[in-house]
Chain A
């Protein structure tokens, strides 16, 4: 144990004495969160929606048809009570629910106005905004082209309600992504570089000749990065909570546990990368191009996955960050528990085990 602690201590020396490492470790998360706090709008197609038609008359049917035939929306389910709306959103498949008030057509004929409620899942603020605007657009063009053109002075009043994120803050969207990115960077990239460095400098050989077994060597190298990654995650969460007033609806401990799981995944990925790279340069390039870019572009962090071409969607399903982003969003914004995100959790855990097994195999081969 004493040997092991000495090893970990040495690893911290490496980190604290290299100002570039320190900058990446502690400057990056803060800069990223602040930069990504203010970002971009995206296009949408084939958004799954639910419709709760309390009236079920000719006009509501016509409007429903207009919406579903627009190409932007797919009717995923018909809902029958207010309670079902909440449940439908929690499942995370539908992005929007349209509610027609009772006696819609009758009211329209009698009073000249009727209202339709548009409820959107705003945990993804950009998409929610676009989705509701498209819906409003379709309804008002129906109103103008079909009703007014026929001489009816009718008015349909859309009421928009944003669920989970009333103020439509874009930063809510970017906190989980930034967290995934930073943890990948710190855990996977920094570990792979630091292990590759020992190989490059020749110190790895000396360690392997020593009575230390390979496993403690790897664990000893990884622990400092695990600690620092975890601190980073906490800093990001704190920053988004205090600076951007992002809510944490779910259980904080649960959130931190899931974060820890993701860190394990990233560390095992870092170990895997280090087993195939002989120098720091190689480790860095692999991490950059095989990890950072796909994590940014394909995980749903910046571009919505449902808009990607099919091939990219498949690729995105092997991006660990994709699952972590879903997990974090669900916990922080919707307050979901393990019941909702067990699948994603399982995927991340499975990937961790896979990476570890492959690394151990590779490591053994190297010794042969």
Chain B
């Protein structure tokens, strides 16, 4: 599907949908340092939510809290309808996660990686088998299913990592700088995959510092020094900050 056509459809579609992530007054302190300083925001079901900010702005801290890797100091955080303090295990079943490091085992084959991750989510053998087939078909990677991950180019690993992160059909997938270090064409391909997932009803929560990618998101939040300084559609943000593109918006906020 063409991006712009998608965007228009998607925004009207999700406008009235329920919240899948609700964050209220989230604070994370490390000693005296506020990594997250009273964050409040919601993410709608099916949305592609961009989480932007310079290095050290607190993006990774927030994404770690949302995905249950770390506890907030205070505040209310609901993910997929569950409280991250009290219902961590339920949250975990409903989310997928892909970090900057792609998180696949280099010394396992493509198929073994898929099997392994399917296994730890408790999926049945039959499901894993069928889904692996269709996934490899879609990725056009049938020929390399028995190759070690370590022998594949970065872009391929990244696509596999993303497919693995949504293999168990989570309600939300968290992507922490998924496109770091890859070429523009692969990044474009990758975003096609993100749209596809979004069309299938998976909410995508993505951090990035490529501003062109911010344009692809339904809504974008820009963080600076632990606070959210702007949260709107890319169009809305450009209007508010009187900018021609997201790059300018970002610079105005971060400076």
Contacts and interface: CB of A to CB of B under 8 A. Distances in A.
Given A202-B101, A203-B105, A7 B119 contact: yes
A17 to B, nearest CB: 5
A212 B120 contact: yes
B105 A209 contact: no
Contact of A210 (B92, B99, B108, B112): B92
A210 B101 contact: no
Interface in B209-240: none
B17 interface: no
A13 B107 contact: yes
A6 B115 contact: yes
Contacts of B106: 201
B19 to A, nearest CB: 21
A205 B92 contact: no
Given A6-B116, A13-B112, A211-B92, A206 B107 contact: no
B18 interface: no
Contact of A10 (B92, B99, B116): B116
B99 A206 contact: yes
Given A3-B120, A367-B71, A209 B104 contact: no
A159 B13 CA distance: 101
Nearest to A198: B105
Given A2-B119, A14-B105, A211 B89 contact: yes
Contacts of A14: 105, 107-108
B122 interface: yes
Interface in A216-245: none
B55 interface: no
A193 to B, nearest CB: 14
Nearest to B113: A10
Contacts of B68: 208-209
A82 interface: no
A209 B120 contact: no
Chain A interface size band reads 20 to 34
Chief secondary structure at chain A's binding surface = helix
Contacts of A10: 105, 108, 112, 116
B120 A205 contact: no
A207 interface: yes
B93 interface: yes
Contacts of B100: 202
A211 B93 contact: yes
A368 interface: yes
B209 to A, nearest CB: 18
B116 A368 contact: no
A208 B103 CA distance: 12
A209 B70 contact: no
A18 B174 CA distance: 32
A12 to B, nearest CB: 11
B69 A367 contact: yes
Nearest to B94: A211
A203 B107 contact: no
B121 interface: yes
B103 A201 contact: yes
B151 to A, nearest CB: 12
Contacts of B93: 211
A46 B115 CA distance: 63
A208 B116 CA distance: 14
A33 B103 CA distance: 39
B97 interface: yes
B95 interface: yes
B132 interface: no
B120 A210 contact: yes
Given A201-B106, A368-B70, A211 B101 contact: no
Nearest to B96: A209
B102 interface: yes
Interface in B13-48: none
B98 to A, nearest CB: 8
A2 to B, nearest CB: 7
B67 interface: yes
Interface string A1-33: 011001100100110011000000000000000
Interface of B: 67-71, 89, 92-93, 95, 97-108, 112, 115-117, 119-122, 165, 174
Interface of A: 2-3, 6-7, 10, 13-14, 17-18, 201-203, 205-213, 367-368
Given A206-B103, A208-B69, A211-B121, 17 more contacts: A2-B119, A3-B120, A13-B107, A13-B108, A14-B108, A17-B107, A206-B98, A206-B117, A206-B165, A209-B69, A209-B97, A210-B117, A210-B121, A211-B89, A211-B122, A213-B89, A367-B70
7 contacts: A3-B119, A3-B121, A14-B108, A209-B67, A210-B92, A213-B89, A367-B70
